[in-house]
Structure 1
Amino acid sequence: MKRTYNWFTKDNSGAKNEFAKYGHTCEIPEEMDDVAEYYSPETFWNNLAKKAFQLRTVSDISKSYTHHLRSHGAIMKERKRHLIYHNYIIHPYSYFRVIWEMILSVVIYVQLILVPLHSGFCIIEDGHLMEGSESYLDPSIITLDFFLCTDVVINLFTGYYSEPKKEVILDLKHIFLHYLKSYLIPDVLSSLPTNAAYNSGYDYSLLFLKLLSLLKMLRFITFVKYYTRLINFFHVRYSVSSLLLLLIGVGLYWHSITCYLIFVKLVDEFLETINPNLLPSDQPNLFSQNSYSDIYVSCFYKASMIIYTSWYTQENPGGLVEYCVVTIMWFCSKAIQFFILARTLQIMKGVNSSHQKYVEMERQLKEYMRDKQLPTYMRTRLLTYYDYRFQRNYFRESEILATISGQLRQEIIMHSCRQLVENVAFFKNLPLNLLVRIVSCLRGEMYLMNDVIVRANTPGDCMYFIASGTVAIYSTSGKEICHLEDGSHFGEIALVNKAEARIASVVAIEICEVYRFDVKDFVRAIHPYPDLLDSIEKIASDRMEKTLMLDEHNRREMAMKRVNK
């Protein structure tokens, strides 16, 4: 099932449709892709299964926000691996995950508002703690609990990106172990349907369930995780997204303190019915004399005093529980205030954020383009280049490499080119010394869509290795021959036969990251290995012969068409 690409391999992954949106008119006949072939023949259920797989497999848009799936070829390879070995697993970079995380972000936000509100209001009747008129919230919270329980199940069948391995893990056993070590326990505790357990009972059972429901606030961790992913997916500016998250967090904290002050007063008044000496005699019964809206407004004011001042209210806390909770809330509020101040300064200044440095560089770039009065299409291409090159995080690679030792620099280069070395057949079975020498001579370059990398009938002084991206090969007569993707190479004819001009043009049909290997470095590195040199010469001569034959055939066809006209 493994697809191999050589000089004349057709892209049988539906490239004709895939690259049409990039402005590339593909002349290569479109063939059935792997997904369509897997779900053939075309029946209703097969088509339904195919649509479901396309929804849960890696999406094309993942190129813009991932570090390892940055080309059409890499995505098609990932889809094939997913299709064959882990068909029923949900890919973390799929459209389904984006849609689901958008829904869950709204669900969790609503839950973080309703749960404290539901926990704060009860009534005391005949000396017993009972549910109040807030019970109308029960169906809504139970529905939200259903979504959260579903989220736990979906997460157990969703792969994750492994930073050490630089790949997405789709094995069910590894997914479970990773989830268990990270978010499984908080997610399960925060998904317990405590409201479904409410009944006509009262006193300590109801009090315990309301305390247990506070575990749902752990879902704020999940909310931040999903929020961050969606921000990266939609490329929202760092400063805007960070300030918005701060405002959401402060608002939820303020609302939670208000509701829990209500809950604390309720507990004190409930304990006072058991032991009248626990509550001062001058304290009014909050729940018997006020409406729910008045209670909320009163506690909202007290929460503001706790958060922003050291003064509570003109009255002292009503009981022992309220004394303890107010003290803890005050200390937590001061800590959160310091965090908000520090975080806001960091966002505004951005001295410790590579992302913020990128934002500043992007702003300077826009000012430069405005000063030079560049046309719109050129501005778009320039911004696209910077976005793809730096992945929205700015760093000075040349300065970093200049400050380290040669050995360490060589190790970093080898690690950076690891994916290239694994994908390129040219590097297979090479001696380690030669491989290190070649890799250290490579120079990274990046080309945008429709950029001409190599032009036919021009002198050649280098060859190229494709790290990521797809290029189209055209003969001198303008006939599209094939596509080359990740791991392929081209231009080696110019290295073994310096007298020959380029026999084909190479055009990038998506953003391409390539490594250039110059003639002088080739001579210095390869010539001491005559067997490897012979192999390269054979590949070059075969490609030259086939290209010239196809070019001649194309010229004859064009001549015949002109004669027939």
Structure 2
Amino acid sequence: MLEFNPFVEYYPGNNWQAKCIRSFHRLISIDPEAHRTRENLKSLTVIKAETLRHLLFYPYTIHCFSRFRYMWEVFMMITYILAFIIIPIHVAFIYEEQRLEELTVKRLVSVINVIYLMDIAINFLSSYQDQQTKKIVLERGRIASKYIRYYFWIDLLSSIPDQMVIYWLGMKAKGNNLDQCIHNSLMQGECLWDIIIIMSLLKFLQVPLFFKYLNDHLEGYQISTLKIKFIKNILSVLFLFHFFVCINFLIIRVFLTEKYVQISESIVDVDFWKETSDVEKYIICFFYTTSTMTLFANAIEEKSQVDLTIAIIFTLIGCVANYWLVSEALMYLTTASGPTVCFQEFQYELMEYVAFKKIPKSTQLRILNYFDFIFKGKFYRMSEMYALNKGQLKHLITNETCQQHLMRNYLFKMLPDGLLHSIASCMRETIYLRNDVICRIDRHRGQKLYFIVYGTVAIYTQDGRELAHLYDGNMFGENEFIHYRDTHTYMNYVAVEECNILVLLRNDFMRIMAENVELINQMRSLLKEKQEENFDQLQQLDEYPNIESENELEKFE
């Protein structure tokens, strides 16, 4: 039987119009091969269900895990880099009216403004993932509401089309005399031209968003957090240094006036700057900024009070920048080598130990795989780390993951925060390797409830037939756990791969819920309703016969 294809089913036809429509919806729908999809939706069945929900109810919303969203974010990162380079040059160096029409910079700035405005429109159409429930929000109203509450105003301020405003208001450049605008004629049209141009520096408000996109995409290539931080620090230094070079000349422009005494070879020598090209101006400011910010300002002789003032400003900035760079470099060198070296030493000692004990090779390999899975190639002294985090802080660290899993679960999210916190404190983390039996048939039935943090668990019947797979965020054993001995389900649960599982004992649960019998009855009713709802949905979705767990059906809500 041919596999069900939702795009062909809902947009049939072999003509070019139908093919274009299907291509469009594939582009804005969830991409099964994307890194973010694999990280958040482990199961292929969940991905199919999410695709179906998207096509049925929100066909024109851009999915946050779609190929289009990925390409748009890459395109916006390139645009941000161009903006961070071009905008400071445009603000500082391009200020003479007769040259504006001849410059490509003006056209590039206009294109950047248009792209920024397009980004606002696309953000209103793009879904997002709720960080608390980990569900994908596709409703246009909720998308717009969240966007307006958070990033919209930053995007709007950074998207002011300065070139269009200047054109509409008929403004003209005053020239290179910013001092008169600041002190004498601030509200004249010529001076407003300078103010509007300077306001284009608000595009640097998008720096955090640029680094967020960069971080997400680098993680998709399995680059370590430490290397990502190193790349972000390098880019931060380059952007800031370029920004300060341009700001250096912008400050110089303030003092390029007859009001100040012009001294030969001074940084505010008007005749010198008039005879200098833009490239030469940038190189001179680059040298001056480098000399002051790297604390080599004594190599330049200050000829005037203005020279001294500018030198002091950039020297102070350089002190802060150097302190930050040295601290980041030391942190990087220490962090990069420490845990890896410790793990290698620990692994060598472990290999010597198992060899001395003459443990069979298969068991040796299993032990080594266990520690490699836990520490991921980097060894940390967990006992010392916990000893430093005593009391409330340690309690928060150990319970954060447990409470998050409870809050996302349909059975527990209706409980008060106090009960959730108490239940989370009783949960225990357990590691299972591949082919480990997590729960056997009729052994400790109903005594434990399991939550999968990450990994894959297979469900087997008594005769060894595989029924389904469970994935990250799923739970199992809830039917026996809630109803206890009122059910007769006999299943084996086996780890398909290395699994990190949280376990809740029934005795702990009943002790905490002893005075909340009504809540337990509500949980039983909720479990029954969920099972009936899942049964009805399975009957309606005949084209999806392989749905692997009841939790995955929540994607259809």
Query: Which of the five TM-score ranges fits, normalised by the shorter chain?
Result: 0.5 to 0.7
Tell me whether 1:415 sits opposite 2:397 in the alignment.
Answer: no
1:52 is aligned, of 23, 27, 42, to 27
Q: Is the 8 A contact 1:39 1:49 kept in 2?
A: no
Letter paired with 1:230: H
Q: Distance in 1 between matches of 2:252 and 2:423?
A: 73
Cα 1:74–1:284, aligned 2, differ >3 Å: closer, same or farther? same
Q: Is the 8 A contact 2:458 2:496 kept in 1?
A: yes
Partner of 1:280: 262
Letter paired with 1:280: Q
2:90 is aligned, of 114, 118, 124, to 118
Letter paired with 2:79: V
Partner of 1:451: 435
**Aligned residues: percent identity?**
19
Q: Is the 8 A contact 2:403 2:420 kept in 1?
A: no
Per-residue CA deviation, residues 426-471 of structure 1 (Å, 9 max, x unaligned), is x8999999999987765443446x5343587897776553445553
Partner of 1:221: 208
Partner of 1:250: 237
3-state DSSP of counterpart to 1:451: coil
Tell me whether 1:106 sits opposite 2:72 in the alignment.
Answer: no
Provide TM-score, normalisation by structure 1: 0.64
Q: Is the 8 A contact 1:118 1:137 kept in 2?
A: yes
Unaligned runs of 5+ in 1: 1-28, 351-355, 540-565
Q: Is the 8 A contact 2:460 2:467 kept in 1?
A: yes
Cα 1:491–1:177, aligned 2, differ >3 Å: closer, same or farther? closer
1:335 is aligned, of 320, 323, 329, to 320
Q: Is the 8 A contact 2:61 2:125 kept in 1?
A: yes
Partner of 1:12: none
Cα 1:409–1:97, aligned 2, differ >3 Å: closer, same or farther? closer
Letter paired with 2:410: E
- How far residue 414 of structure 1 moved from its aligned partner, in angstroms, is 7.1
Q: Is the 8 A contact 2:449 2:504 kept in 1?
A: yes
Cα 1:130–1:190, aligned 2, differ >3 Å: closer, same or farther? farther
Count of residues in Structure 1 that have an aligned counterpart in Structure 2 = 476
- How far residue 307 of structure 1 moved from its aligned partner, in angstroms, is 1.0
Cα 1:454–1:36, aligned 2, differ >3 Å: closer, same or farther? farther
Per-residue CA deviation, residues 282-331 of structure 1 (Å, 9 max, x unaligned), is 335233333333322221111112212273774547786x7766554443
Tell me whether 1:185 sits opposite 2:153 in the alignment.
Answer: yes
Cα 1:393–1:280, aligned 2, differ >3 Å: closer, same or farther? farther
Q: Is the 8 A contact 1:420 1:467 kept in 2?
A: no
RMSD: 5.5
3-state DSSP of counterpart to 1:481: strand
Q: Pick 1 or 2: higher relative contact order, CA cutoff 8 A, min separation 6.
A: 1
- How far residue 114 of structure 1 moved from its aligned partner, in angstroms, is 1.8
Cα 1:46–1:191, aligned 2, differ >3 Å: closer, same or farther? closer
Letter paired with 2:450: F
Provide TM-score, normalisation by structure 2: 0.64
Partner of 1:364: 342
Q: Distance in 2 between matches of 1:338 and 1:378?
A: 44
Per-residue CA deviation, residues 67-92 of structure 1 (Å, 9 max, x unaligned), is xx566676666556655554433344
Cα 1:410–1:44, aligned 2, differ >3 Å: closer, same or farther? closer
Partner of 2:114: 146
Partner of 2:179: none
For residues 109-508 of structure 1, the aligned pairs below 5 Å read 109-122=81-94, 130-131=98-99, 135-163=103-131, 167-195=135-163, 201-203=172-174, 204=190, 206-269=193-256, 272=257, 276-280=258-262, 282=264, 283=269, 285-309=271-295, 311=297, 314=300, 316=302, 327-349=312-334, 360-361=338-339, 364-369=342-347, 383=372, 386=375, 403=391, 415-419=403-407, 421-422=409-410, 443-447=428-432, 451-453=435-437, 465-467=450-452, 470-475=456-461, 478-484=464-470, 486-489=474-477, 505-508=492-495
3-state DSSP of counterpart to 2:29: helix
Q: Distance in 1 between matches of 2:417 and 2:100?
A: 75
- How far residue 207 of structure 1 moved from its aligned partner, in angstroms, is 3.2
- How far residue 254 of structure 1 moved from its aligned partner, in angstroms, is 1.9
Unaligned runs of 5+ in 2: 175-189, 352-360, 529-557
